[in-house]
Amino acid sequence: MDEKNNVSESKQNEIICINCGAKLTFAPGTDSLKCEFCGAENHIEVDKTKVAEAHEEIDYLDFINNKMDSAPKIEITAVKCQSCGAETTFDSNNISSECDFCGSPLIAADAHTSEVIAPKGMLPFKITEKKSIELYKKWLKKLWFAPNKLKKYARQSEKLSGIYIPYWTYDSDTQTKYTGRRGDDYEETESYTENGESKTRTVTKTDWTYVSGRVSRFFDDVLVPASTSLPLKLIDKLEPWDLENLLPYDTKYFSGFKAETYSLALPDGFTKAKSKMDVVITSDIKRDIGGDRQQISTSNTSYYDITFKHILLPIWISAYRFNEKVYRFTINGRTGEVQGERPWSWIKITLASLAALSVIGGLYYYFEVYQ
């Protein structure tokens, strides 16, 4: 049976098949939820009147000062991992499960209901679980000097969880005043004495000039994870995201997936966004100073017309414990970009180093004897 219907929700907020009433799971890469029991495709209707809202930039200062308490909220049931602190949505039908971020056990008794600021936009999963597992296995095969037990253990627990991670995005105009020094290199010939013999050589010297100036830049959609459960060096490498395809927040895309609640407050997120902006601003200042070398003494940045969005982005994640340490593997649920943590086998590295030294020693001996 291959019907196409509009999806509906039960009183328990479960997504159910309009044809047979079975619970549905969102199919990544599609705009529907396919029923595994009757085969009906339950179409997800995108409210086109709300697409613009998914991209709407909210005035940051006005929200912080006047609208924080009255902002639209959503009620969620979540459970907090006592080991790593990650807080994800929890299915009350499950008696227990594992934390997707560290593999520690979670129990239903720890679940609680709370209200959080409602996200305006989201990117649904595009990469399927099957594809993500293929990427996972491919990544495992490429691990040089990994302990033998790791690959065996990881293959045995090759389950991946699809999780929507909360993000803040920030826009801002910036103006930065700076002072510093510009260095222009030039060459000089100098004399020196070596073994009683007078010689000359060319050396590079730098002529320094004090400078000051101003640079301006507009920042668009500076992404900051509103979660502290994953290392920044891991999650930042999953970028870029196709934010131009943001859709309105819709719980139908969550069917079969989880979502993490934000643990980083909006103002703290902007502090992290400014740190990202500073890296770019520093490059702008050095370019503005010019010359061969640049030294920045002071810089003072002002931020104008600050806006933000609260969005959810899809990530496939697997966490496994190896020798009492947690290692994580993540995949961008839209592009398939892979990033992961891994342990090293120092025994393998040592043996490889000894083998390399043995080869080098053998070649040296060969050339010394036969040359």
pLDDT tens per residue, range 3-50: 444 544 433 345 777 777 677 788 888 887 877 777 777 788 888 888
Angle between helices 148-156 and 129-141 (to 10 degrees): 170
- The residue behind tokens 């990469």 is 127
**What does the alpha-carbon distance between residue 163 and residue 253 come to, in Å, rounded to a whole number?**
11
Q: How far is CA 370 from CA 60, 165, 255, 361, 365, in A?
A: 76, 64, 72, 14, 8
* Token pair belonging to 360: 């080098």
Residue of higher predicted confidence among 59 and 117? 59
Task: Single out the residue of 304, 179, 267, 277 nearest to residue 219, CA to CA.
Answer: 277
Sequence spans of domains, the chain: 1-45
What beta strand segments (E) does 226-281 contain?
Answer: 247-248, 258-259
Q: What is the pLDDT of residues 239-272, one digit of tens each?
A: 999 999 999 998 889 888 888 888 899 999 999 9
Q: Which residues pair with 169 in a beta bridge?
A: 223, 309
Q: What value does the mean pLDDT take over residues 155-176? A: 85
Q: How far is CA 313 from CA 13, 124, 239, in A?
A: 21, 7, 11
* pTM for this prediction: 0.80
**What does the alpha-carbon distance between residue 209 and residue 178 come to, in Å, rounded to a whole number?**
14
Residues 95, 269 contacting (CB under 8 angstroms): no
Whether omega before 28 lies within 30 degrees of 0, making that bond cis, reads no
Q: How far is CA 62 from CA 55, 224, 252, in A?
A: 18, 20, 31
pLDDT of residue 2: 42
| pLDDT category of residue 197 using cuts at 50, 70 and 90 | confident
pLDDT of residue 1: 39
Q: Decide if pLDDT at 138 tops 90.
A: no
Residue of higher predicted confidence among 371 and 223? 223
What beta strand segments (E) does the chain contain?
Answer: 4-6, 8-9, 15-16, 25-26, 32-34, 41-43, 58-59, 73-80, 87-89, 96-98, 105-107, 111-117, 121-122, 161-194, 197-225, 247-248, 258-259, 293-322, 325-332, 338-340
The percentage of the chain sitting over the pLDDT mark of 90, rounded to a whole number, equals: 40
Strands 121-122 and 293-322: parallel
Q: Decide if pLDDT at 369 tops 70.
A: no
Task: Single out the residue of 142, 127, 125, 136 nearest to residue 158, CA to CA.
Answer: 136
pLDDT of residue 268: 95
Q: What is the pLDDT of residues 64-119, one digit of tens each?
A: 999 988 888 888 878 888 777 778 876 654 545 777 787 777 776 677 787 888 89
Task: Single out the residue of 33, 252, 30, 32 nearest to residue 22, CA to CA.
Answer: 33
**Average pLDDT along the chain:** 81
pLDDT of residue 307: 97
| pLDDT category of residue 315 using cuts at 50, 70 and 90 | very high
**What does the alpha-carbon distance between residue 26 and residue 192 come to, in Å, rounded to a whole number?**
77
Cβ-count burial 191-203 (b if 16+ within 10 Å, e if not)? eeeeeeeeeeeee
**What does the alpha-carbon distance between residue 125 and residue 314 come to, in Å, rounded to a whole number?**
6
